[in-house]
């Protein structure tokens, strides 16, 4: 190995290490501070579960967390069902305007959510939907659908249509072909799409801020309101719980599916 190659390898490893530190160090510090008894983050850390105990008694944060969880689960279910069906339709059928329809899936991801939230607020009031739980779910589903469809479309590109034709030649109807041949193949992308939809919904702030009613707010909106009043370590506690649960869900899912790996 030449000195230049060795130098480039060291620089590459250093860059990756710095990148990982940039991404995860703030999260680690936040998790550690959630166990610090001092509300002013004094060092050294005095280990305590005080803020988790206070979090359990904070009705606003707990209610907002449960409200966000309910919306995220509903969004994941609806977006995954509709997105998977749309992906199968785009995969199986050729029709006029198909390319344009596929291209229109990208702008909702690229358009700033501030503009999207404003547009949704105006539209929902214009058609009589207004604000509230139903508006939040509709808004979150609209944001999550492109992610589900794009992920499923990428998986379907590796699927051989001959497998469906072989199943039909053996007497299987369309539903049997979908359930026993196509869905098992795209199952990893369906799960990945559901996780994307859940994450997009649970983490959504802008659209939730516009569409939530004053008495019922999601966790991101509640955290924003709490920070404006004065930051408390209880926010560190609830954030740490969410991160731990998210990582556990991701690892549990990865245990059964090789995302991006060989089947």
Q: What tens digit of pLDDT does each residue of 25-39 get?
A: 888 888 888 888 777
The candidate with the shortest Cα–Cα distance to 108, out of 71, 77, 74, 142, is 142
User: Taking residues 137-162, what's their average pLDDT?
Assistant: 87
pLDDT of 19 above 90:
yes
- Check residue 112 and give its pLDDT: 83
User: Taking residues 177-191, what's their average pLDDT?
Assistant: 84
Does residue 44 have a cis bond before it (omega within 30 degrees)? yes
- At residue 109, φ and ψ (nearest 5 deg) are -80, -35
Distances (CA, A) of 229 to 31, 36, 151: 22, 21, 40
- Check residue 260 and give its pLDDT: 47
- Check residue 231 and give its pLDDT: 65
- Check residue 77 and give its pLDDT: 94
- For residue range 89-116, list pLDDT tens digits in order: 888 787 887 788 878 877 777 788 888 8
> Does an H or E element contain 23, and which?
helix 3-33
Task: List, in order of start, the domains of the chain with CATH numbers.
Answer: 55-256 (1.10.3720.10)
> 213 in helix, strand or coil?
strand
pTM: 0.80
Q: Are 204 and 115 in contact (CB under 8 A)?
A: no
User: Taking residues 141-157, what's their average pLDDT?
Assistant: 88
> 216 in helix, strand or coil?
strand
Interior CA angle at 163 toward 159 and 168, to 5°? 140
Mean pLDDT of all residues in the chain?
83
Token output for 76: 């994941």
- Check residue 127 and give its pLDDT: 85
């Amino acid at each position: 190995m030449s000195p230049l190659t060795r130098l480039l390898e060291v620089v590459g490893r250093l860059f990756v290490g710095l990148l990982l530190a940039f991404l995860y160090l703030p999260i680690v510090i936040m998790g550690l501070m959630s166990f610090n008894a001092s509300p002013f983050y004094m060092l050294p850390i005095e280990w305590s579960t005080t803020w988790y105990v206070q979090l359990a008694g904070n009705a606003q944060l707990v209610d907002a967390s449960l409200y966000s969880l309910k919306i995220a689960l509903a969004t994941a279910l609806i977006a995954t069902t509709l997105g998977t069906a749309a992906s199968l339709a785009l995969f199986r059928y050729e029709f006029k305007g198909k390319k344009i329809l596929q291209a229109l899936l990208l702008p909702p991801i690229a358009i700033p959510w501030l503009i999207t939230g404003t547009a949704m607020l105006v539209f929902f009031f214009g058609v009589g939907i207004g604000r509230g739980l139903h508006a939040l779910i509709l808004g979150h589903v609209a944001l999550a659908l492109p992610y589900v469809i794009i992920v499923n479309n990428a998986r379907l590109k590796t699927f051989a249509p001959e497998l469906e034709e072989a199943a039909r030649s053996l007497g299987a109807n369309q539903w049997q072909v979908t359930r026993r041949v196509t869905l098992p193949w795209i199952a990893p992308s369906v799960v990945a799409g559901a996780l994307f939809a859940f994450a997009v919904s649970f983490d959504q702030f802008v659209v939730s801020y516009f569409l939530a009613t004053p008495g019922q707010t999601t966790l991101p909106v509640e955290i924003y309101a709490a920070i404006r009043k004065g930051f408390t370590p209880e926010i560190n506690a609830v954030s740490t719980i969410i991160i731990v649960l998210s990582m556990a869900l991701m690892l549990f899912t990865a245990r059964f599916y090789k995302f991006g790996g060989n089947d």
